[in-house]
Structure 1
Amino acid sequence: MRYMMSYDLMETMRNTNQWLGATALSMASNPALAAIPNPALSWMAAWGEVTERSYQRMVTKPDWGIYTQTCADGRDHVVEIDTVVERPFGDLIHFRVAGRAEQPRKVLLVAPMSGHYATLLRSTVKSLIENCEVYVTDWHNARDIPVSAGKFDIEDYTLYLVDFMREMGPDTHVIAVCQPAPLTLAATAYLAEQDPEAQPCSLTLIGGPVDPDATPTDVTDFGRRVTMGQLEETMIQRVGFKYKGVGRKVYPGLLQLSSFMSMNGERHSKAFMDQIQRVSRGEASDHDAHNRFYDEYLAVMDMTAEFYLSTVERVFKGGEIARNEFIVAGHKVDIGKITNVAVKTVEGANDDISAPGQCIAALDLCTGLPEAKKASHVEPGAGHYGIFAGRSWRDNIRPLVIEFMNANARKTKTPAAKRAKANA
């Protein structure tokens, strides 16, 4: 599997299916056939439309789609996305609301690098931008990064987070969603030892595998069953000539997507069949519920091979974070060194990816943190997605997180107060 041929074969299959969909749509929509009252033609056109869109989305990075924000003055303000820090494997971006006063909470939202783009957190960003200055880690697709840019494993990922936190300053509130939770905890501990003045005010970990063995799931069981040799042989491929990262070893997004889909194959098959029927009856729209979900779900990105393999080996198999034995750039990180960064964990009672118990383990690792600065919440009835983007997040979890931020904000002067003092 570790060959360009395997990578290009998957891309060829995707491209062919996209072409077949487009061809079926064009043929069945030909005006010359419009006079034939055959329902098979409308069904064929619908199949072609759904198929073409689905396979096209697999190689398209979704847009954030956040253009305006209604502020307290009742006006819609333009939202501009500024790149604050630009790096080969990921940028730090800021959602700046033009013409709005700086908000009291500065939030760093750490997006997962687990197959989907940071836009997976679109609804999370929308809910926070209302009264926060929101910054997001926007990870790049590994297939578009030249081999000359070097490697990128979990240590590099952690150091990226360290640099992003330093850039934003000590008045920052960090929220890590899913996969980056353990590495964000390690990055905070790294700062506690190496650069205490740059530590954030608070750290909220949402549904992340800090201790994967605390509550086993199908994901952790898979990590235990397979050997690293099997993973490298079956999951790793080299990027083909079509992309800038030609020759780079990656865990391909298309391969990840096939795994995602197989976990709930029957449900996905039904969803697409139902959508084809809706399109054939003229009941579907460009932004209906099906398209909104699958435009994001099908848009996958490649991960560097070293990041994927080191995550499995060191976080899941070795449990280095859970055992407080994680090493970054030759330095052994001690999570117990976190003493003044408030830490909160959020879990979903029905989360089958990062089950309750895996994330709250972070609090036990923070041995140097007073109990008054620790908090946890388990959301009843919530699954994995719901705890950061669904109704549970909007109605229950987000208010708790905002309250946690307010309670642990450091008493620092705002830029306006600093300017007033300088002009005095």
Structure 2
Amino acid sequence: MIYTNAYDVMETLRTTNQWLGATARAMGSYPGMAAHPWADLMRAWGEVTERSFARMTARPDWGIPSVPGGDGRDHPVRIETLVEKPFGDLIHFAVQGRAPRPRRVLLVAPMSGHYATLLRKTVISLLPDCEVFVTDWHNARDVPLSEGAFDIEAYTLYLAQFMRHLGADLHVIAVCQPAPLALAATAMIAQDTPEAQPRSLTLIGGPVDPDAAATDVTDFGRRVTMGQLEQTMIQQVGAGHAGAGRPVYPGLLQLSSFVAMNAGSHAEAFGAQILRVADGTAREADRHNSFYDEYLAVMEMPAEFYLSTVARIFKAREIARNAFTVDGQPVDIGCIDRTAVHVIEGEADDISAPGQCRAALPLLTGLPETKKAAHLEPGAGHYGIFAGRSWRDSIRPLVLRFIDAQAQPGD
């Protein structure tokens, strides 16, 4: 294991780069530098650099003050915490001054490096038509060691508790990483209290069977051993945080992996933004800032969660083989017999390639074929199937129609 000093060194490097950006911005803005041919570029580089490194440890705000209503008015949105737990909360986006919507949707956010606010656009798109609930995961560096460990079994138990709290009149949408665990949580409920199964479960671009279609992500999981992962990826939270000493997969290491997957396009985007700032055409809320303010904001992941995900979901394929257990008890996906299941995949998804998520359907041996559906969105990448144009124009209407088709409880 890499110890606490490595975590502190990495944070020092981040703050140093943030300081270098602030210094370059200040120097480039100094009146005496106005005649220098490189002053504008220095100022622009500094501004973009300072902002980027500052965002890496800032938790983004949901930024949803209101939603339009059918009455022609904007209705304020208040975030309510319904269930509060050490590693994550169940929250509700309560729209003020309107009747509750009959569609009740639980968005299961990934715990994969970014905050649940990654689903901001998804939430905004659903709020006019649905009551929206979200799993709001906490940054592991803020969780004291006294709260214990958090692995994929604990995650599954959290999901089952949140779903039970909301009741059977519920439609669950799991985005990316939690797809296999949302499937397992639904199966747990089906085994224990069949009548409490949610009306529908939509799985969007998740690794139910990582071997169904290879990607760089699945290849990485195959190439490295668990010992190598623990030695190279796990650090202990440094001093000054509530979770000091907790083993984590640090957000900055995760971010370096995200960026490396498309390094060329990221470099091009930042180069173009520096030029826009230099010539005065950049704006605070422009597309670059809107995207990277969220993309660069990363959170520490509990080490047990990361390592158990790789070992049990990717290497052992426990969900794909219907061999997953929680607290030593088998979870039989075939027990799901009331929850309609909808699989959404993107044709150009390079993280969870087509086939990985669709692998859920053959596991549902107790579910009638009429309650299973799958959709492959042409040309869509990973982000697009839950928050981009493909989501807005094609997938969102499809999901709402599927939800409406399950309006009555199953037999």
Q: The TM-score by the shorter chain falls in which range? A: over 0.9
Q: 1:338-377 residue pairs with structure 2 within 5 A?
A: 338-377=336-375
Q: Quick one: distance in 2 between partners of 1:304 and 1:119?
A: 19
- Please give the secondary structure, in 1, of the residue aligned with 2:132: strand
- Please give the secondary structure, in 1, of the residue aligned with 2:47: helix
Which of 202, 226, 244 is 1:204 aligned to? 202
AA at the equivalent of 1:250: V
AA at the equivalent of 1:9: V
Which residue does 1:271 correspond to in 2? Answer: 269
Which residue does 1:12 correspond to in 2? Answer: 12
Which residue does 1:415 correspond to in 2? Answer: none
Q: 1:320 and 2:315 equivalent?
A: no
- Please give the secondary structure, in 2, of the residue aligned with 1:39: coil
Instruction: Confirm or deny: 8 A CA contact 1:2 1:249 kept in the other structure.
Output: no
Q: 1:36-55 residue pairs with structure 2 within 5 A?
A: 36-55=34-53
Q: 1:22 and 2:11 equivalent?
A: no
Instruction: Confirm or deny: 8 A CA contact 1:146 1:248 kept in the other structure.
Output: yes
Q: 1:229-248 residue pairs with structure 2 within 5 A?
A: 229-248=227-246
Q: Quick one: distance in 2 between partners of 1:326 and 1:278?
A: 51
- Residues 280 and 83 of structure 1: is their aligned pair in 2 closer, same or farther, counting only changes over 3 Å? same
1:20-40 per-position Cα deviation (integer Å, ceiling 9, x unaligned): 111111222123x16x42231
Which of 362, 380, 390 is 1:392 aligned to? 390
1:62-118 per-position Cα deviation (integer Å, ceiling 9, x unaligned): 111111111010001101111111011000010010001000100000000001011
Instruction: Confirm or deny: 8 A CA contact 1:106 1:134 kept in the other structure.
Output: yes
Q: Quick one: distance in 2 between partners of 1:394 and 1:263?
A: 25
In structure 1, stretches of 5+ residues that fail to align are 413-424
Q: Quick one: distance in 2 between partners of 1:214 and 1:48?
A: 44
Aligned length: 410
TM-score, normalization: structure 2? 0.98
- Greater CA drift, 188-197 or 203-212: 188-197
Structure 1 residue 197, shift from structure 2 partner: 2.8
> What percent of counterpart residues are identical?
69
In structure 2, stretches of 5+ residues that fail to align are none
Q: 1:291 and 2:289 equivalent?
A: yes
Which of 72, 77, 80 is 1:79 aligned to? 77
Q: 1:63-74 residue pairs with structure 2 within 5 A?
A: 63-74=61-72
- Greater CA drift, 269-278 or 111-120: 269-278
Q: Quick one: distance in 2 between partners of 1:366 and 1:411?
A: 18
Structure 1 residue 267, shift from structure 2 partner: 1.4
Which residue does 2:224 correspond to in 1? Answer: 226
Q: Quick one: distance in 1 between partners of 2:408 and 2:327?
A: 30
Q: Quick one: distance in 2 between partners of 1:228 and 1:259?
A: 17
- Please give the secondary structure, in 2, of the residue aligned with 1:17: helix
- Please give the secondary structure, in 2, of the residue aligned with 1:213: helix
Structure 1 residue 410, shift from structure 2 partner: 2.7
Which residue does 2:249 correspond to in 1? Answer: 251
TM-score, normalization: structure 1? 0.95
Which residue does 1:420 correspond to in 2? Answer: none
1:310-368 per-position Cα deviation (integer Å, ceiling 9, x unaligned): 00000000000000000011210000000111001000111111111111111100000
Structure 1 residue 248, shift from structure 2 partner: 0.2
Q: 1:96-245 residue pairs with structure 2 within 5 A?
A: 96-245=94-243
Q: Quick one: distance in 2 between partners of 1:410 and 1:42?
A: 62
Q: Quick one: distance in 2 between partners of 1:297 and 1:130?
A: 25
Q: Quick one: distance in 2 between partners of 1:411 and 1:198?
A: 10
Instruction: Confirm or deny: 8 A CA contact 1:107 1:173 kept in the other structure.
Output: yes
1:298-318 per-position Cα deviation (integer Å, ceiling 9, x unaligned): 000010000000000000000
AA at the equivalent of 2:367: L
Instruction: Confirm or deny: 8 A CA contact 1:54 1:295 kept in the other structure.
Output: yes
- Please give the secondary structure, in 1, of the residue aligned with 2:38: helix
Which residue does 1:59 correspond to in 2? Answer: 57
Structure 1 residue 411, shift from structure 2 partner: 5.5
